[in-house]
Amino acid sequence: MKIDTRLAERLKKIHPSSTLAITSKAKKLKSEGKDIVNFAAGEPDFDTPDFIKEAAIAAITSGFTKYTPTTGTPELKKLICQKFKKDNSLEYAPDQIIVSNGAKHSIYNALMVLLNRSDEALIPLPYWVSYPEMAGLCEASARFIKTTAANNFKISAKDLQKHITTKTKVLILNSPSNPAGSVYSRQELEEIAKICVDKNIFVISDEIYEKITFDGLKHNSIASFNKDIYNLTITVNGLSKSHSMTGWRIGYLGAPSDIANAISNLQDHSTSNPNSIAQKAAVAALSAPEDFTHELCREFAKRRDYLAARLKGIKNLNFSLPQGAFYMFCDISKTGLDSLTFSRRLLEEEYVSLIPGISFGMDDHIRISFATSVEELQKGMDRIEKWITKL
Ligand code: PMP
Ligand code: GLU
């Protein structure tokens, strides 16, 4: 067999996830004793709360270790329905909820059931690294809508309108966003919703950073505005960020019944249910008051402010203050380096690891994660400050 026919065509254009690769490289170097400052992390540095771990241990000891229904246990799905209602003014029945192996899996499932080969997914740029790759795995194409710092890296309804073609099937929205920390206002989302309804475009609303917003900003769920946009939206969320549970792999979505049914069939034949023990842990997480999540958010706000104060003092780095999530997206164009060179040299010369903007479609930016302690932020910023003046 010829080398180039061994793999399916759909895999040939897929790249590894640079965010995952760089994060694990930084962790490995650290475990080998290198004094690495890790600004690459895409996960909260907090431990999963004990009461959640205890629920998982109880699940194991009581023998809750078998298959569950593919789309999640009735107990968990009921809590997810209640969460959607309470936090997002969204009415989903349990059979409209699919629990999967992380929000990443939920988004992939949603794209898989919506996109045909020649369809286009509209993706605001900068984008989370996996969106275009997932569209590629569906043999569809990604069409990017460029944004700028002047509009906090958000698309407007006008931008959206300009990019719609006869092939457009889906818009992927992410608020609060990774990597720019943008949070869409209710009015901005309403204008976007109107166009999607007019043009019959589905929305995948990735709300995984919902709970991490700053300065009193409130998250809005686009599907909650009216029945028309509800019928076109798949609302994605999960516990990775809000409960510091990235490794447990629990994400979920709420969708119109026909889409939820299709995803249930897909999951039946691909992964079956998400881990039974992690589902019990998720039940504990969603049943408890949100003290942990509020504390996490307050801590991230403090770190954001510290990082912003430090960055203000560095001449060749520009940034916009993130409104949510835990990343600072910085413009490095004044350094004259592209983002890969910048991040490679910073790692090799100063042992600071971060994500090059090219991973998110912007080669003149870098992403600094502040999911790390203020002491680490201080150490890393001292190194960056010194290094930049030498460039
Ligand atoms: N969406 C965005 C924007 C993310 O940053 C992440 C984090 N990896 C995810 C989805 C997926 O989260 P998970 O699969 O861990 O639930
Ligand atoms: N979302 C995180 C990040 O952007 C985790 C890595 C990933 O899932 O790609 O760094």
- pLDDT one-digit tens code per residue, 309-354: 999 999 899 999 999 999 999 999 999 999 999 999 999 899 999 9
Task: Flag whether pLDDT at 124 surpasses 80.
Answer: yes
Q: Is 206 in the pocket of ligand 1 (CB under 6 A)?
A: yes
- Interatomic CA distance for residues 297 and 289, integer angstroms: 14
Q: Is 179 in the pocket of ligand 1 (CB under 6 A)?
A: no
Ligand 1 site-directed mutation target among 131, 240, 253, most atoms within 8 Å of CB:
240
Q: Average pLDDT, whole number, for the chain?
A: 96
- Interatomic CA distance for residues 308 and 313, integer angstroms: 9
Q: What is residue 22's predicted lDDT score, i.e. its pLDDT?
A: 85
**Which ligand 1 atom sits closest to the C-alpha of 239?**
16
- Interatomic CA distance for residues 214 and 21, integer angstroms: 29
Query: Which distant-in-sequence residues (6+ apart) come within 8 Å of 79 by Cβ?
Result: 282, 283, 286, 287
Cis preceding linkage at 44, omega within 30:
no
Q: What average pLDDT does the segment 5-29 reach?
A: 85
Task: Give the phi and the psi of residue 281 in degrees, each rounded to 5.
Answer: -65, -40
Q: Is 254 in the pocket of ligand 2 (CB under 6 A)?
A: no
- Interatomic CA distance for residues 220 and 236, integer angstroms: 13
Class of domain 66-287 (CATH, top level): alpha beta
Task: Give the phi and the psi of residue 3 in degrees, each rounded to 5.
Answer: -50, -45
Task: Give the phi and the psi of residue 141 in degrees, each rounded to 5.
Answer: -120, 155
Q: What average pLDDT does the segment 49-63 reach?
A: 98
Nearest-ligand number for the alpha carbon of 324? 1
Q: What is residue 131's predicted lDDT score, i.e. its pLDDT?
A: 98
Ligand 2 site-directed mutation target among 19, 24, 242, most atoms within 8 Å of CB:
19
SS3 205: strand
- Interatomic CA distance for residues 366 and 354, integer angstroms: 7
Q: What is residue 25's predicted lDDT score, i.e. its pLDDT?
A: 82
CA 279 / ligand 1 centre spacing (Å): 18
Task: State both tokens at 248.
Answer: 């447990």
Residue ranges per structural domain of the chain:
3-47+291-390, 66-287
Instruction: Write the CATH number of the domain with boundaries 3-47+291-390.
Output: 3.90.1150.10
- Interatomic CA distance for residues 132 and 216, integer angstroms: 31
At 1, the pLDDT band (50, 70, 90 cuts) reads low
The conformation of residue 24, written as its DSSP 8-state character, comes to H
Lowest mean pLDDT among 11-15, 59-63, 161-165, 252-256: 11-15
Q: What is residue 20's predicted lDDT score, i.e. its pLDDT?
A: 83
Q: What is residue 2's predicted lDDT score, i.e. its pLDDT?
A: 62
Query: Which distant-in-sequence residues (6+ apart) come within 8 Å of 375 by Cβ?
Result: none
Residue with tokens 């286009």: 120
Centre a 10 Å sphere on the Cβ of residue 247 and count the other Cβ atoms it contains: 10
Burial of 42 (0-12, 13-18, 19+ CB in 10 A): buried
Task: Flag whether pLDDT at 48 surpasses 90.
Answer: yes
Q: Is 370 in the pocket of ligand 1 (CB under 6 A)?
A: no
Q: Is 19 in the pocket of ligand 2 (CB under 6 A)?
A: yes
Q: What is residue 3's predicted lDDT score, i.e. its pLDDT?
A: 59
Give me the percent of the chain exceeding a pLDDT of 90: 90
